[in-house]
Structure 1
Amino acid sequence: MATRQIPRTTLGEGASHEGFLRHKRFRWAKLALLLCAAAVAGYALIDAPPRHYGGTAFGYVLGTVATLLILWLTLLGLRKRAMTPGRWSLKGWTSAHVWLGLSLTVLATLHSGLRFGPDVHTLAWGLMMAVILSGLYGIAVYAALPPALGDSRAEMTRPQMVDALAKLDVQLEAAAQPLALADAAVVRKALAEDPFAAGLLRRLSGSDARSATRRAIVALAPAGDAALLAVLERKVAALGQIRRHLRIRALLEVWLYVHVPLTFALLAALAAHILSVFFYW
């Protein structure tokens, strides 16, 4: 469940996202469905008087399986550090992470025997559901945004965008040489504009309301210097493209700021849940 960085395999085209969900013809989706079906069948067929709950033999089996799954799912962040092909490729591991994570909604709920209350057990279940819901949001973000990410970059990498912006600044500086001091000061502010220095909130907004380059166009338009204005317009377009790129990356980052802390909170609540069970056994 926990991830420390955005997996590179999910930052390609939309098809790559579909790929990890459909990995090996939905192998992990089928396994998760089989696991859920077995849990539901056991819950329906096994007699557990007076009713099912976590303290029955079947409840312990479900709880053990769910706990092991949660611990394994948290290893994805470590797994991403080793890029290997084959059965346990990163794409396969990510597919298992998603589908087996979803199976926990059934396994852990049946483990509880549908008994919820103001206690650490329900807290652990609630945090688990919150982690899963945030994971679903992450899947949606990864599936929807990276194609837009590619469009916003116009097939350019970040270093290429920086290089293109630097070239525009060189042209802008040359075009500003004959200007009066006041107008040159306006251009220098445009030259100093750095979209990569913006904070998270600015990147999320994607706004250029405070753009020094746009203000320079307004200020210098009456002078009618067509060459200078053309360079400024190109820089505004380049900055807009970079801001869109940074906004999309920021949306991806925000998900991790939610998913990872929730996962650690879940692990703490899960430990408290298990310790309390053995304490009162």
Structure 2
Amino acid sequence: MASVAGNRFKQDERRRNADHVSFLKHRRFRWLWIALMLCIVTGLGYAMIDQEPRPNGGSWYGYTLGTIGLLLIVWLSLLGVRKRKITTGQWSLKAWTSAHVYLGLALIVVGTLHTGFQIGWNVHTLAYFLMLLVIISGIYGVIAYATLPSTLSSNRKEMTRAEMLDALTALDRQLESAAQPLGREQTDLVIAALEQDVFYGGAWGRLTGTYPGCKTNRALARISESGSEAEERVHALLVKRADQLGQIRRHLRIRALLEVWLFIHIPATIALLAALLAHVVSVFYYW
């Protein structure tokens, strides 16, 4: 019984350790080595074939690489379906994601060798460049997910998005009260700042973090911090509001940077599958 309990404890320890390993390092970079082996084998095969002209998509080796590439692309595109099922073990989501990344990168070699370095204005080249677009956007996604979550967590300061907005609302109430003794022009500046939509700026503003029309900054520039007591208080509150807005906008920007690549990756994948279908049909039609 003791040995059984000990073995179970060791298995649980290994499982917990595996849970904290990045999908890029899954099983000691297993899928990286598999992808590298695929690249080496296909590259050596292409180099060692004694054939003139060199192998291209219409040669037997080109068909072989094309079949491998097609199967890989279809399988890799199923990651979205796989994400809806949580399992552990050999084909856990982490293992699947690791394979998705490294085999996706290997497609650059497989796909390029399949073309035989022949590029033209046709559906075949379209499929090739769509594949590259999917891979490049995926590379961005991997980098984003590897680097930005820590920045997002640091910016949040253990606050949720709702708590950030609540903090801003509390500051706005204080500002509304503190601005009462100010003159008409200064009061209008504060009111304009309070009425401006926190989420204004659109997609470009979120991605770049630039808000040139920010009325809080405008009010800060126009209300002196060395004037009357009321002006000093309003200015201090505006500084706090600007800081809180900055935190919210940084949060929005990081989230946008984490998600923007999907607006390219997913549609490009769908377009790639359609182009591949046209590519395969046209090849066999004219074969």
Question: TM-score under structure 1 normalisation?
Answer: 0.82
| Residue identity opposite 2:129 in structure 1 | G
259 and 18 in structure 1: CA distance in 2 versus 1, 3 angstrom threshold: farther
Is 2:156–2:251's contact at 8 Å kept on the other side of the alignment?
A: yes
Is 1:18–1:143's contact at 8 Å kept on the other side of the alignment?
A: no
Could you tell me which of 214, 217, 234 is aligned with 2:217? 214
DSSP 3-state at the match of 1:247: helix
Which residue is 1:126 aligned to? 129
DSSP 3-state at the match of 2:199: helix
Instruction: Please tell me whether residue 188 in structure 1 is matched to residue 191 in structure 2.
Output: yes
Which residue is 1:148 aligned to? 151
Identity of aligned residues (%): 54
Show CA shifts across 1:29-69 (max 9, x none): 11111222232343345566764233344332221121011
Instruction: Please tell me whether residue 100 in structure 1 is matched to residue 103 in structure 2.
Output: yes
In structure 2, distance between residues paired with 1:182 and 1:115: 68
Which residue is 2:285 aligned to? 279
Which residue is 1:11 aligned to? none
Identify unmatched segments of 5+ residues in structure 1: 1-15
Instruction: Please tell me whether residue 173 in structure 1 is matched to residue 179 in structure 2.
Output: no
In structure 2, distance between residues paired with 1:77 and 1:95: 14
Structure (1 or 2) with the larger CA radius of gyration: 2
Is 1:145–1:248's contact at 8 Å kept on the other side of the alignment?
A: yes
Which residue is 1:256 aligned to? 262
Which residue is 1:267 aligned to? 273
Instruction: Give 1:269 shift.
Output: 1.8
Which residue is 2:204 aligned to? 201
Instruction: Please tell me whether residue 236 in structure 1 is matched to residue 242 in structure 2.
Output: yes
Instruction: Give 1:260 shift.
Output: 2.6
| Residue identity opposite 2:95 in structure 1 | G
Is 2:57–2:63's contact at 8 Å kept on the other side of the alignment?
A: yes
Aligned-pair Cα RMSD in Å: 2.7
Is 1:52–1:113's contact at 8 Å kept on the other side of the alignment?
A: yes
Which residue is 2:38 aligned to? 35
194 and 154 in structure 1: CA distance in 2 versus 1, 3 angstrom threshold: farther
In structure 2, distance between residues paired with 1:199 and 1:141: 21
In structure 2, distance between residues paired with 1:181 and 1:89: 64
Is 2:205–2:211's contact at 8 Å kept on the other side of the alignment?
A: no
| Residue identity opposite 1:249 in structure 2 | R
The aligned length equals 266
